[in-house]
A and B are shown apart, each in its own frame.
Chain A
Amino acid sequence: MKNQNILDKVKPKFFKEHQESIYQALEDKHTTIESIEDEDPLNTKMVLNMGPQHPATHGVLRLILQLNGEVIEKTKVDIGYLHRGVEKIAENKTYQEFMPYTDRMDYLSPYSNNVALCTAVEKIANVEVPERAHYIRMIGCELARISSHLLWLGTMVMDAGAISFFIWTFREREKLYDIFDNLGGHRFTISHSRIGGVANDMTDDCIAMIKEFVNTFPQELKDWHGLLDRNRIFIDRNENVGVLHTEDALEYGAAGPSLRASGYAYDIRKIEPYARYDEVEFEVPTRLEGDNLARYYVRMEEMHESIRIIRQCLDKLPKGPVRTDNAKQAYPSKDEVYYSMEGMIHDFMMTDTGICPPEGAECYHAVEGPKGELGYYIKSDGTGHPWRMKIKTGSFANLQILENVLDGEMVADTVVIIGGLDPVMGEADK
């Protein structure tokens, strides 16, 4: 059998250099394509392109798999199909103007993204946030975590073969959407956080809806546990699949539940507590196996913990303002804008110039998003626009592991492993 260069076989018509360099990268990982005529008449060695628009790739993710029969020998991940240059846009917008863009990054949990940006700006510009706003933000973040994990659960179980599950998790997400609708006025891209607090207070209706949800949701979770935990097909498809060993997890930079399923209790809420996470009690679920099943258990337990956090927040929810009353730092309320001249001027100033952190200041602030560490690095030049904003996201880190975890797995398990890592391409591509 004679060895052949992989580039002899591909004749890309579009983005020539790009395609060639990707295939060359497969070569660099010591793979070879051997000619099929002589000893491999069944053509078991092949390069398989999966995506970018494959239903199981959770967005536009392209995988280039070097297969030997059904076993994946090498993987290359090609992202960039969704790249919108969000960081570049951030440099040309005021901090508050950039808020709706964060919703569209991890679009499954917009609330956490809003809070992440706000807390970073508040840190660099020294803005005090009222107590009540902190608790509202925590409730929003935990609801967003549940919402994101529910979508992961539905799609991951669907990737493993069960379709109806998807509908049930979406029924629960629908309730969350209703809550967000009541809370911030939007169902999907909420943008409810404001620098210095939140846009508006929770209504009694909203609190009642949240209470209703935290009372009914644990039973749903229990039912799902009952369905999946001893399900032969589910276990067989997930146990020992996509194993990320404990010693590799840190090395490859895994984030969020994927890191915790490999044995590290790394949770920003515990290590660098933001909002009022140091005043509520919760556990950081951890597993040692590092396989897909471990990631399933970690996320399921995280939803339990989220419910626990929300309950404590509702108990502790203090009375008071929801936004700082310093008009140089935050938007005035709409009442002030409509009925007072100062309010209107401040509103105009906030929209036009926005908040200006001190010149030369730098800061990094991360929150624990559903996908992992979600951090904003801001460098200010003293104007209302960030000089540089770098967003560190969990999905980007987890997709990088995917490139390493897939090697040696079966091609049929690819979709389950992608589902288990729960990447969102909007967040990875930014």
Chain B
Amino acid sequence: MALELSEKHQEVIDKLSEAFPDSFIEAYQSSGDTFVRVEADAIVDICSFLKKECHFSYLGDVFGADNFTSKQRFEVVYNMVSLKDQIRLFVKVHLEESNPVIQSVTGVWKSANWPEREVYDMFGIQFTGHPDMRRIFMPQDFDYYPMRKEFPLLGIPGSIELPNTTPDTE
């Protein structure tokens, strides 16, 4: 299917595919939004390229998705905005089920810090080079990743320790 990209999106995608011929996989559109899929191991280089050369200075969000039955089980999506060109671009990488690890982009945008922690907390995707890789919503003692598809909607009984209600006898 032919893409109906805006002039500015086209320019960015041309630049990107030229600079990273090995890591650029595809560009596609869905409901009017532009997505670029790239290799996971080049994410930091691609993000710094997009920030420096294509003016994507604002990283709105980083989020994960779980494809469950697919071989490339996890997705990490970077939602970035160029204030100069006033366009939005989504960069997407796929990760495997066993040991999902990707480099952190906190060195490129500081705003990636919390969203990456959220992805780690919800999907168990590790970010190497992240300055503070703790869970953000769930307690550190929690053993599961709630947004994975196999995690039940009603939770796992006994998975969170509850405070002791009997008073101290000391």
Binding site for B on A (CB under 8 A): 13-18, 20-22, 25, 28, 79-80, 83, 85, 87-89, 92, 123-124, 250-253, 264, 266, 271-272, 360-364, 373, 375, 377, 379, 387-388, 390, 392, 396-397, 399-400, 404, 429
Which residue in B59, B79, B83, B163 is a CB contact (below 8 Å) of A377?
B79
Q: Are A88 and B147 in contact (CB under 8 A)?
A: yes
Q: State in angstroms the CA–CA spacing of A251 and B132 once bound together.
A: 17
With both chains docked as a complex, state the minimum distance between the C-beta of A262 and any C-beta of chain B, in angstroms: 12
Closest chain A residue to B65 by CB distance?
A388
Which residue in B109, B136, B161 is a CB contact (below 8 Å) of A15?
B161
A-B complex: 7 closest residue pairs judged by Cβ atoms: A253-B111, A363-B31, A80-B137, A18-B140, A18-B139, A17-B140, A83-B137
Q: State in angstroms the CA–CA spacing of A18 and B81 once bound together.
A: 34
Q: Are A272 and B88 in contact (CB under 8 A)?
A: yes
Q: State in angstroms the CA–CA spacing of A18 and B90 once bound together.
A: 33
Q: State in angstroms the CA–CA spacing of A272 and B135 once bound together.
A: 33
Q: Does B134 contact A (CB under 8 A)?
A: yes
Q: State in angstroms the CA–CA spacing of A13 and B151 once bound together.
A: 28
Q: Are A28 and B31 in contact (CB under 8 A)?
A: no
Q: Are A79 and B137 in contact (CB under 8 A)?
A: yes
Q: Are A264 and B111 in contact (CB under 8 A)?
A: no
Closest chain A residue to B121 by CB distance?
A80
The answer to whether residues A21 and B136 also contact, given A253-B109, A379-B65 and a CB cut-off of 8 A, is no
Q: Are A89 and B58 in contact (CB under 8 A)?
A: no
Q: Are A80 and B136 in contact (CB under 8 A)?
A: yes
Scan B136-148; emit 1 where CB is below 8 A from any A CB, else 0.
1111110000110
Q: Are B111 and A14 in contact (CB under 8 A)?
A: no
Return chain A residues, CB-CB under 8 Å to B32.
123, 363
Closest chain A residue to B77 by CB distance?
A377
Q: Does B61 contact A (CB under 8 A)?
A: yes
Return chain B residues, CB-CB under 8 Å to A251.
109-111
Q: Does B33 contact A (CB under 8 A)?
A: yes
With both chains docked as a complex, state the minimum distance between the C-beta of A31 and any C-beta of chain B, in angstroms: 13
Q: Are B134 and A362 in contact (CB under 8 A)?
A: no
Q: Does B60 contact A (CB under 8 A)?
A: yes
Q: List 23 A-B contacts (CB under 8 A).
A: A15-B161, A18-B141, A21-B134, A79-B136, A79-B137, A80-B136, A80-B137, A123-B32, A250-B58, A251-B110, A251-B111, A253-B111, A271-B86, A361-B31, A363-B31, A363-B33, A377-B77, A377-B79, A392-B61, A397-B114, A400-B111, A400-B114, A404-B110
